[in-house]
Chains A and B, each alone.
Chain A
Amino acid sequence: DAMVIQNPRYQVTQFGKPVTLSCSQTLNHNVMYWYQQKSSQAPKLLFHYYDKDFNNEADTPDNFQSRRPNTSFCFLDIRSPGLGDAAMYLCATSREPQGIQPQHFGDGTRLSIL
């Protein structure tokens, strides 16, 4: 089945130690998104890639960066994680950014900061 896969499912890192979360997709979608979701809250969009074009949300901290080396993979880099960055990070894909098709989500990576 075509899907969105996030690795790892659980990640523990130390305060200030860089961490990378990964996402891959077999849907061949043009757009890949990264969301941050804190406990029982709505997902908050951090940024998205439309093909190779990177689009950052205005309120996304500089501490968060992303890479998309090819269509299938996208990475979320947190340069210096703080305690407030502990959250579930969700990757999603869609065919087009403003289309009528729904976004497809991975199962997320739960990030803990020690």
Chain B
Amino acid sequence: AQSVAQPEDQVNVAEGNPLTVKCTYSVSGNPYLFWYVQYPNRGLQFLLKYITGDNLVKGSYGFEAEFNKSQTSFHLKKPSALVSDSALYFCAVRDNSGAGSYQLTFGKGTKLSVIP
């Protein structure tokens, strides 16, 4: 079975400082990995994905994520946090081996608060 862990329920960071939101995954085959952001009373918005190739992927709003196969991680990063980045962040995984579920499995989410 595939699974995602987001070990931190909440991350607080000062505006202008770098931010990291952690994600680790487990799949039987190779992973397709995604990050989504959710603002209050809104749906999930796609930020970035890793499918194959370069381990560092760049996405919307200055976010990037690094795929680390040996550590089975896909941490979300941004060099300089903005107050407007405050939101709920979800990591998600799909197993591309065909043996796993077609379904997208989400982590429980990490609430990011950027302090002015």
Residues of A within 8 A of B34 (CB): 102
Minimal beta-carbon separation of B102 from chain A (angstroms) = 5
Residues of A within 8 A of B107 (CB): 42
Interface residue tally for chain B (C-beta within 8 Å)? 24
In the assembled complex, B22 has its CB within 8 A of some CB on chain A: no
Q: Are A108 and B106 in contact (CB under 8 A)?
A: no
Complex Cα spacing A9 to B40, Å: 13
Closest B residue, CB atoms, query A10: B41
Q: Are B51 and A100 in contact (CB under 8 A)?
A: yes
Residues of A within 8 A of B36 (CB): 102, 105
Closest A residue, CB atoms, query B9: A40
Chain B positions within 8 Å of A, measured between CB atoms, are 32, 34, 36, 41-46, 49, 51, 88, 90, 94, 96, 98, 102-104, 106-109, 111
Q: 13 additional contacts, CB 8 Å, given A42-B109, A105-B45, A108-B43? A: A40-B111, A43-B90, A43-B106, A88-B41, A97-B102, A98-B102, A100-B49, A102-B49, A105-B43, A107-B41, A107-B43, A108-B42, A110-B41
